[in-house]
């Protein structure tokens, strides 16, 4: 490159000068802006008078940077904004579980330094994370991100759908996953027993029985169902019904469904992790500092374009729209309303 410009006799910034400019001017500006943004978010949260509701997600394998860095991102769910970032170098990380927990610990230390209460945390189902939260943050509610719970359930349903005489499960997969999202979305206070009662009503619903479920949740809340039916009802006692009921009521479901997050989902963090690529393309490798500030730039961009439209409704009335993308091999995702990106300030 430099040789090319020399040939043309066009003055060009050298690599050293470029790096010096980055270190002296660009990085301090990003740092200052990020500090200000974090402080402004904390002030806004204090005026809300509630503790933080955070969602955390770690990526040990940020696409394209797998050899070097993992990113742990914390989003504040009232604001729908990235509030904390931890970049962990791969030589520090023993494995992805370690990265997940270490990222969370560092984020929480950092957030606590602002003197705010942590009211609720949404994470995936890493056992080490659940144990640490239980032991160290006893005043904080811990919820599981529905996307992760749905992913595990989806795999089980797929497996069953492939066995003999069980193809009906394939037709029902989307409805079953939708019901999982609905159990949480329709229970804004996160009452574990109510969420589980709603979940169990599915065992009746799939048989075409819509009332007499339980004291807590006696009948289905859907309106009249379309006739003729797109998919058949299950029949009591048949192999496929028995096997499906086993999955719907197994130990994991009993635990996971009671802890489903009625708050915003960490799925929006998925989008953030792909935004990082926009600021730190995979074909270039970066030093720690260079990567660190590029990740922060990505957060500033995402925050500018998220805000209240994407934050969850405090009343809990907002409907979650679940869609099944082909790119994700039919895995469920939550669709947020999107607005055109801006690059202000
Ligand atoms: Zn029903």
Does 96 fall in a domain?
A: yes
How many Å lie between the centroid of ligand 1 and the Cα of residue 224? 9
Are 123 and 196 in a shared domain?
A: no
Give the pLDDT confidence score for residue 137 in this predicted structure.
93
Does 250 fall in a domain?
A: yes
How many Å lie between the centroid of ligand 1 and the Cα of residue 308? 34
How many Å lie between the centroid of ligand 1 and the Cα of residue 202? 7
Are 180 and 40 in a shared domain?
A: no
Four-residue CA torsion sign, 333, 339, 341, 342: negative
How many Å lie between the centroid of ligand 1 and the Cα of residue 199? 11
Instruction: Give 325's strand partners.
Output: 331
Does 1 fall in a domain?
A: no
Please identify which residue in the block is written with the tokens 């037709």: 171
Domain ranges, residue 102 = 32-145+276-312
Give the pLDDT confidence score for residue 233 in this predicted structure.
95
Query: What are the CA-CA distances from residue 290 to residues 42, 149, 176, 285 (Å)?
Result: 26, 35, 44, 9
Does 170 fall in a domain?
A: yes
How many Å lie between the centroid of ligand 1 and the Cα of residue 198? 10
How many Å lie between the centroid of ligand 1 and the Cα of residue 201? 8
Q: Name residues of the chain where pLDDT drops below 70.
A: 1-6, 60-67, 90-94, 264-268, 307-345
Structure tokens at 222: 């859907």
Question: Under 8 Å CB-to-CB from 66, ≥6 apart: which residues?
Answer: 60, 90
The count of domains in the chain is 2
CA distance 70 to 58: 7
Give the pLDDT confidence score for residue 345 in this predicted structure.
45
Give the pLDDT confidence score for residue 2 in this predicted structure.
60
Give the pLDDT confidence score for residue 231 in this predicted structure.
86
Does 155 fall in a domain?
A: yes
Are 139 and 286 in a shared domain?
A: yes
Residues with CB under 5 A from ligand 1 (ion): 205, 210, 220
How many Å lie between the centroid of ligand 1 and the Cα of residue 237? 19
Give the pLDDT confidence score for residue 272 in this predicted structure.
81
CA distance 77 to 57: 13
Nearest Cα to Cα of residue 209 among 200, 220, 221, 194 = 220
Give the pLDDT confidence score for residue 51 in this predicted structure.
83
Q: Helix or strand or coil: residue 254?
A: helix
Give the pLDDT confidence score for residue 320 in this predicted structure.
46
Are 134 and 49 in a shared domain?
A: yes
Does 25 fall in a domain?
A: no
Classify burial at 22, counting beta carbons within 10 Å of its beta carbon; exposed 0-12, middle 13-18, buried 19 or more: middle
Give the pLDDT confidence score for residue 264 in this predicted structure.
66
How many Å lie between the centroid of ligand 1 and the Cα of residue 220? 5
Per the CB < 8 A criterion, the answer to whether 149 and 256 are in contact is yes
Give the pLDDT confidence score for residue 336 in this predicted structure.
44
- The CATH number assigned to the domain holding 95 equals 3.30.420.10
Does 330 fall in a domain?
A: no
Does 64 fall in a domain?
A: yes
Are 117 and 157 in a shared domain?
A: no
Per the CB < 8 A criterion, the answer to whether 131 and 180 are in contact is no
Give the pLDDT confidence score for residue 337 in this predicted structure.
43
User: How much is the pTM?
Assistant: 0.77
How many Å lie between the centroid of ligand 1 and the Cα of residue 325? 26
Give the pLDDT confidence score for residue 61 in this predicted structure.
58
pLDDT tens digit sequence for 187-210: 988 899 999 999 999 999 999 999
Are 141 and 154 in a shared domain?
A: no
């Amino acid at each position: 490159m430099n040789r090319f410009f020399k040939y043309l006799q066009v003055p060009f910034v050298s690599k050293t000068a470029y790096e010096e400019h980055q270190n002296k001017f660009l990085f301090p500006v990003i740092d200052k802006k990020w500090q200000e943004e974090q402080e402004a978010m904390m002030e806004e949260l204090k005026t809300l008078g509630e503790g933080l509701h955070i969602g955390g997600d770690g990526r040990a394998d940020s696409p394209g940077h797998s050899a070097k860095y993992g990113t742990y991102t914390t989003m504040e769910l009232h604001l729908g904004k990235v509030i904390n970032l931890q970049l962990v170098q791969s030589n520090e990380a023993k494995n992805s579980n370690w990265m997940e927990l270490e990222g969370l610990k560092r984020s929480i230390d950092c957030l606590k330094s602002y003197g705010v209460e942590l009211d609720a945390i949404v994470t995936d189902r890493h056992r080490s994370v659940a144990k640490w939260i239980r032991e160290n943050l006893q005043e904080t509610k811990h919820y599981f991100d529905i996307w992760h719970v749905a992913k595990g359930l989806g795999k089980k349903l797929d497996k069953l759908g492939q066995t003999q005489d069980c193809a009906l499960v394939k037709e029902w997969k989307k409805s079953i996953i939708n019901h999982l999202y609905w159990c949480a979305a329709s229970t804004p206070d996160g009452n574990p027993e109510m969420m589980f009662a709603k979940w169990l009503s599915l065992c009746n619903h799939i048989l075409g029985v819509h009332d007499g479920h339980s004291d807590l949740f006696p009948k289905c809340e859907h309106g009249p169902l379309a006739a003729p039916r797109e998919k058949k009802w299950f029949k009591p006692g048949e192999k496929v019904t028995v096997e499906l009921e086993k999955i719907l009521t197994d130990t994991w479901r009993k635990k996971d469904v009671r802890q489903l997050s009625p708050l915003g989902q960490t799925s929006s963090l998925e989008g953030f992790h792909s935004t990082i690529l926009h600021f730190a393309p995979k074909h270039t490798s970066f030093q720690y500092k260079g990567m660190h500030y590029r990740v922060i730039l990505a957060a500033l961009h995402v925050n500018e374009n998220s805000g209240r439209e994407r934050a969850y409704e405090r009343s809990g009335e907002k409907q979650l729209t679940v869609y099944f993308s082909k790119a994700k091999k039919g895995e469920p995702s939550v669709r947020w309303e999107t607005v055109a990106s801006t690059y202000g300030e």
